[in-house]
Structure formats: C-alpha cells, structure tokens
Structure 1
C-alpha cells in the first residue's frame, strides 16, 4: 500500500444548512447546523488513510480545543500526526459552510494557524517525505512551505501532487516544475491556464498548457460529470457515478486522497485510479459533513462490487 504525506490545512467546519442562499441584505432562517472536522489538507489525509494508504500529516493548529479536536480527527482515522505543530500565535483554522437544498455550497475560511506553516516545519518531516510515494499539497497553507516540501520530495526521487485550491494566479513557475501531477477543478484550471473548461476538447487544450509549464500528468475534475486525465500524450475521461448528493464539500478532497492510495508512482494506472477516486467521491457526497462523509476502503470496494 502507498505511503502518502499530506502538507496542508486543518479547519473546524461550521455547517449551516439553508433552503437557498440569501440575497444581499436578506435574512433567512437556518434549516440545520452542525460542526465537523475539515480543511482541504486534513480531508485529503483522512481520505487517503481510510482508503488504505500509510498517511502522515504536516500542518499546524492552535493551542486550543479546536486544535486538539483536529489532531484527534486525524489520529482516529489512522493518520500519523507527529508533524502537526501547536502554535500560540493564532487560533486553529476554521470555516463556515453554507449548504443549500440542492447541495451546493458557499465557504468562508479563517486560515488561522494554517497560514503559519513554514519551510522549517516541513524540514522536520524530511525523512518521512523521502520515504513517501507521494507528497500532496494545496493552497490553504503558504506556498513557500509547499515549495520546500516538493524540493525535498524530488531530491529523494519521490512524486508530488498539487491540488491548486483555492485558485490563484500567482503560482511560481518553479513550483509547477516540481509538480508531477496537478489536480484542479474546472474553475482552478481556467485561472491557471486561461482556458475555459467547457468540454473534453478544452480539457485537452488546458492539459497541454500544464504540460508546457512542466507538469507531465494532469487530472481535471468537473464535479458531477467526472474527471479528465492526461499522461504524456494519452488521455481520457472517466464519468462520475450518478448518486443523490447531500453535501459536496469533501468531494474533491476525497477524490485526491483516495486516488493517492492506489496510484502507482509511475502513473501507469492513472485511469484506473481515477475510477477508484470517483467511486470514493460518489460515496462522500451522499453524507453530511466533510470528514464524517469520507468512506473507508472497505466501503469503496463494496460499492465497486455492487
């Protein structure tokens, strides 16, 4: 089974259920409220661990109850958390998620201690990174820390996966040159490449831009439609499984974590790994809450057999 290290964010999510999103100046009643663990990094780590990967996390929380809660969320799912630092300089990251009756979401994030992760914090995990099949990072922690992590991974001949979310126009060319697989959604793809994603032809065009920037392998996720993949000159599209979605918050993170648990470091099974990740994501969207919805490997395999 793969060894995966995740560098990323930890947030406590407050989920507000509404029939529809309010208009400017409008007040609406809630139809429900709950609290769960979240953060793109933590979600992806828990997804990888539950899917069977030996998973280690690098990140930072506050010296508060929320920080203790998030570390417990990791360890309860089998994620090694010895490289999660506790800081008194800020509170643990948090997010407020509005979820409407059609399962669409709007998310507001307070980065908190996630914004304090440094290259020095990453250096502490150098040995683990060097022994990992994949190092995964997102953009909810500082890019300088991600750059250092990807440098360490490449120095050890290990593979890197970048989930460029939230999207930004200011991605250093060096970071992309250190990225072996990039996994954006359609919005992030347009932000990074300038190519609007509307069909498979546009996905091929966007993937070519990524490859020109130095990223050899590309996956573009397009929500309920599925995911496009490109490896070298080979490419394809894997349709999503049709389910009744309840909460799409962790869909993309579950996809990436599950993908990393079965993907070969030479990317030779990229299409099959995308199918496995699609199945995991289809299970996650059928439950409420980011981390509570993430399926286990047994659940994914059972759904595959059904």
Structure 2
C-alpha cells in the first residue's frame, strides 16, 4: 500500500449559496448556507486515503468545537492523525465559500491554527515522512515549514508534490528545487511565471518556465479543459471528463490526492495517474461541498 504524508491545513467550511458574486457595495440575499469539513491539506489527505493509500496528516487545530468536528471526520475515514496537534494560540481554520448557481466558487480563508505549524511539528513527524513514498504540501500553512519537510523528504528519497495554492508570486527557489512535481491551476501558474494562461500555447509556455525554475515535472490543471503534463520539453494533455458541474470545491484537492495514490515510485506513470485523478475530480464536482464530495476508490473507474 502506498504511504503518503500530507502537510497542510484543516478548516471548517461555511458554504454560502448565491446566484452570482455580488458587485462592490452590493447587498445580496443568499439562497442557503451549510457547513462542512475543508482545508486544502485535509481535503488532499482524505482524497489520498479514499484512493486507497495509507495516509498520515500533519496539521494544527484549535481547542474548539470545530476541531472536534474535523477529528471525527478524520477518524471515520481511517486517516492517521498522530501528527494533528492542538494549539491554544488560535482557533481552527475556517473558510467561507461563495458558491454561485453555475457551480463556481470564490473562497475567503481564516488561517487560524494552520499558521501556527512550526518546524518543531515537522521534526516530530520526521520518521513518518522518512518512511513515506510521497509528501504533499500547499500554501495554507507557512512556507518555511514546507521547505523543512521537503528537505527531509528529499534526503530520504521521498517524492515531493507541491500544490502552490493559494496563488503566490514569490515562491522561494529553495522550495521549487526541492519539488518533484508541481500542480498549479491556471491562476497559480500565471502568478508564479508571470505568463497569463489562456490557451494551449500559453499553458505550455508557463509549464516550460516552471521547468526552467528547477521543477522537472509540471502538471497544470485547467478546469473543464483537463490538465497538462510537461517535462523536459515534452507535453501531454489529459482531457477532463464531461459531467454536470454542481460545485468545484475540492476538485483540485481530489485530483492531487488521487494522483499521489496512483503514482509509481519511479514516476513513470504520471499520465496514467492524471487520468485516474481526473476521473475522481469529475465525480467530486457533481456534489456540493468539499470533503463529502471526495469519492472512494471503488467508485472511480476509468
């Protein structure tokens, strides 16, 4: 069984259902609201678990009811939470998701406890990282902590996957050089490279620039159009599955968790893993919410 470690955020999501995004200064009525488990790290960890991998999660939560809610979810799925620790310095992270009637979302994040993860937490999880096949991280926790975790991974032959989200334009080169596979969407790729991702040519140009920045393998997800794999001058597009879209929340996280669970240790099957991940994402977008939309492996058939 594949062993995966995810370093990342734990949030409780509040989903606000609206017809469209409000204009500046506009007051709008909502069509409804609901709460669910979220956080990019937690989503990716649960996706990897549901994809069949033995997954450990490194995260920080507050001393509050939101934390209890999230821990119950993790335990139910069999996620290893030995390194999910509690702090009294901040509350459990929260996300407020504006979801329009077309299934598109805009998200506001309160980092909370996620921003208190420290290098001490990484050192406590060191042996778990060393024994894993793959380490995943994103940008809802401090970058300095991710760099330390990736150093441990690379020293021990562990594959590193970076999801550069939320988008940043000043990622330390030290982190990029420690990354085996980077998985941005169009917005994130544009922020990193300065190349506006609009069409096939600009997607390839953006991926090529990421290659030159020190990352040998680039996967750019492009929503309903699918995803691009680029490595050392060669590219391959993977089409998305055409399905009715209800909510895109956690679709990217589902993709990354399933991708990691499918990858071979020599990374020789990246495109095959992308197709598997794309199928899982196509299932996720057909259900409202984040973690409740992430499918189980027995439902993902290609």
Answer yes or no: is the 8 Å Cα contact 2:208–2:233 preserved in 1. Answer: no
1:129-208 equivalences under 5 Å are 129-208=129-208
Distance 1:125 1:11 in 2: 21
Answer yes or no: is the 8 Å Cα contact 1:74–1:81 preserved in 2. Answer: yes
Answer yes or no: is the 8 Å Cα contact 1:3–1:54 preserved in 2. Answer: yes
1:39-188 equivalences under 5 Å are 39-188=39-188
Displacement of 1:110:
0.4
SS at match of 1:272: helix
Displacement of 1:229:
0.4
1:26-37 equivalences under 5 Å are 26-37=26-37
In structure 2, the partner of 1:2 is 2
- C-alpha offsets along residues 192-227 of structure 1, whole Å, 9 cap, x if unaligned? 111111222222221221111111110000011100
Q: CA RMSD in A?
A: 1.0
**Which region of structure 1 is more displaced relative to structure 2, 195-204 or 118-127?**
195-204
Answer yes or no: is the 8 Å Cα contact 1:50–1:78 preserved in 2. Answer: no
Displacement of 1:234:
2.9
Answer yes or no: is the 8 Å Cα contact 1:229–1:237 preserved in 2. Answer: yes
In structure 2, the partner of 1:289 is 289
Answer yes or no: is the 8 Å Cα contact 1:195–1:205 preserved in 2. Answer: yes
TM-score (normalizing by structure 1): 0.97
TM-score (normalizing by structure 2): 0.98
Answer yes or no: is the 8 Å Cα contact 1:12–1:37 preserved in 2. Answer: yes
Please, which runs of 5 or more residues in structure 1 have no aligned partner? none
- Alignment length (residue pairs): 302
In structure 1, the partner of 2:272 is 272
- C-alpha offsets along residues 114-168 of structure 1, whole Å, 9 cap, x if unaligned? 0000111011111110111110000000001100100000111111000000111
SS at match of 2:261: helix
Displacement of 1:169:
1.5
Answer yes or no: is the 8 Å Cα contact 2:7–2:58 preserved in 1. Answer: yes
Displacement of 1:261:
0.6
Distance 1:154 1:189 in 2: 23
